């Protein structure tokens, strides 16, 4: 008899859910799920910009060079490739801009205390970005020109993909990290896993339900993590690298389905920053992915193959 095993915990500022289907009474399966908790807690310690002792914080504070660990080196290499691939739309050098917009503490602290950045950014001013240089052979990373990095835009999806590697011995599982998820095999109600796509205009309801099997889904949005920023204006965490300020366009959320979580996560963010037309065109042209946008006026944009992914609610879907 098949049984669904569930593990829930909090890490990287979000709720993590791990689901797996296996034989009832299995002793090894719960232990395997626990390795995912260890993974996320370890990578949060490594990459959190809110922990002074994290490897990323030590790099940002060094103001020079650091010998990065293998995982940090890997993520920096991937981040640089994505910066080049997206023509700079995805850019890990946004930490000064995030802080100037008010996101200089954990989101809970920002909301509870109100955003009071020490140096609010003026509409015509961009914080200096500097750059980072990674020497993979010498295993050294150097920050130049005052560059300081935030890797939150890639680490969560990257960590989900690492969790998939840990759980590879299982035939059926799902890992969800706050909307960035990977699903393998059949869910308890198969075939695949039922995943709800939240309505960004009304987060208490869903826009669609998709069935995910051997694929990943990521959603990026500007409707949840918001605060009162400089000059009383509403701010959020998605920075337009062209302006150095929170992006302002008619897109509330973008959901992308594709082969791996890292690419879905970054493509969702990139499409949102580009806006309805350019963002949807990017997803339409990107091989192996489908995407869906919710707009501020309640409208939507979708790639040509998205409609084929949407399922009827024949059974109660699993909403991780």
8 Å CB contact between 320 and 176:
yes
Residue 87's domain is classified under what CATH number? 1.10.3980
Query: What's the pLDDT band for 1 if we cut at 50, 70, 90?
Result: confident
Query: What's the pLDDT band for 171 if we cut at 50, 70, 90?
Result: very high
Domain end: 122, 152, 182, which one?
Answer: 152
Query: What's the pLDDT band for 296 if we cut at 50, 70, 90?
Result: very high
What tens digit of pLDDT does each residue of 182-239 get? 999 998 887 899 999 988 888 888 999 999 999 999 999 887 766 566 555 666 678 8
| Domain that residue 285 falls in | 2-47+153-308
Do 92 and 103 have their domain in common? yes
Do 146 and 157 have their domain in common? no
Do 36 and 170 have their domain in common? yes
- What's the rounded Cα separation, in Å, for the pair 147 and 164? 32
Among candidate residues 299, 284, 39, 318, the one with its CA nearest the CA of residue 188: 318
pLDDT of residue 97: 85
Domain end: 108, 130, 152, which one?
Answer: 152
Res 117 pLDDT > 80: no
Of 76-85, 192-201, 246-255, highest mean pLDDT: 76-85
Kindly give, in sequence order, each residue whose CB lies less than 8 Å from that of residue 26, ignoring residues fewer than 6 positions away.
3, 5
More confident residue, 127 or 40: 40
pLDDT of residue 315: 46
pLDDT of residue 99: 83
Do 184 and 248 have their domain in common? yes
Res 119 pLDDT > 70: no
What tens digit of pLDDT does each residue of 38-75 get? 999 999 999 999 999 999 999 998 776 788 999 999 99
Res 275 pLDDT > 90: yes
Query: What's the pLDDT band for 320 if we cut at 50, 70, 90?
Result: very low
pLDDT of residue 286: 97
Do 32 and 161 have their domain in common? yes
Query: What's the pLDDT band for 241 if we cut at 50, 70, 90?
Result: confident
CA distances 272 to 51, 156, 283, Å, are 28, 18, 11
- What's the rounded Cα separation, in Å, for the pair 93 and 83? 10
Do 188 and 176 have their domain in common? yes
Residue 33's domain is classified under what CATH number? 3.10.520.10
For the chain, percent of residues with pLDDT exceeding 90: 60
The percent helix, strand, coil of the chain (3-state, each to 5) is: 35, 30, 40
Do 241 and 293 have their domain in common? yes
pLDDT of residue 298: 93
Res 120 pLDDT > 50: no
For the chain, percent of residues with pLDDT exceeding 70: 83
pLDDT of residue 126: 52
In a domain, 222, yes or no: yes
Domain end: 133, 152, 171, which one?
Answer: 152
Kindly give, in sequence order, each residue whose CB lies less than 8 Å from that of residue 83, ignoring residues fewer than 6 positions away.
90, 91, 92
Res 170 pLDDT > 60: yes
- What's the rounded Cα separation, in Å, for the pair 268 and 290? 10
Among candidate residues 95, 46, 76, the one with its CA nearest the CA of residue 237: 95
Kindly give, in sequence order, each residue whose CB lies less than 8 Å from that of residue 180, ignoring residues fewer than 6 positions away.
156, 157, 160, 216, 217, 218, 219, 261, 264, 265
């Amino acid at each position: 008899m098949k049984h669904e095993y569930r593990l829930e915990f909090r890490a990287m500022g979000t709720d993590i859910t791990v689901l797996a289907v296996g034989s009832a009474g299995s002793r090894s399966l719960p232990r395997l799920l626990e390795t995912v908790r260890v993974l996320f807690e370890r990578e949060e310690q490594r990459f959190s910009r809110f922990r002074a002792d994290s490897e990323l914080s030590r790099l940002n504070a060094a103001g020079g060079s650091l010998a990065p660990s293998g995982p940090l080196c890997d993520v920096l290499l991937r981040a640089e490739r994505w910066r080049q691939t997206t023509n700079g739309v995805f850019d890990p050098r946004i930490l000064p801009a995030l802080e100037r917009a008010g996101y200089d503490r954990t989101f809970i602290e920002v909301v509870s205390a109100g955003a009071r950045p020490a140096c609010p950014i003026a509409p015509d001013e961009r914080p200096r970005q500097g750059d980072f240089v990674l020497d993979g052979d010498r295993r050294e990373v150097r920050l130049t020109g005052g560059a300081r990095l935030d890797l939150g835009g890639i680490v969560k999806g990257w960590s989900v993909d690492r969790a998939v590697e840990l759980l590879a011995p299982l035939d059926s599982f799902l890992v969800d990290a706050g909307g960035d998820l990977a699903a393998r095999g059949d869910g308890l109600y198969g075939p695949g896993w039922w995943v709800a796509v939240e309505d960004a205009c009304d987060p208490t309801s869903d826009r669609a339900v998709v069935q995910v099997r051997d694929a990943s889904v990521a959603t990026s949005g500007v409707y949840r993590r918001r605060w009162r920023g400089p000059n009383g204006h509403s701010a959020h965490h998605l920075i337009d690298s062209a302006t150095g300020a929170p992006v302002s366009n008619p897109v509330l959320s973008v959901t992308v389905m594709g082969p791996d979580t890292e690419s879905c996560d970054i493509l969702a963010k990139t499409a949102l920053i580009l806006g309805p037309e350019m963002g949807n065109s990017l997803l339409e042209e990107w091989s192996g992915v489908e995407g869906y946008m919710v707009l501020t006026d309640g409208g939507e944009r979708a790639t040509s193959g998205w409609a084929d992914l949407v399922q009827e609610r024949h059974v109660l879907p699993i909403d991780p």
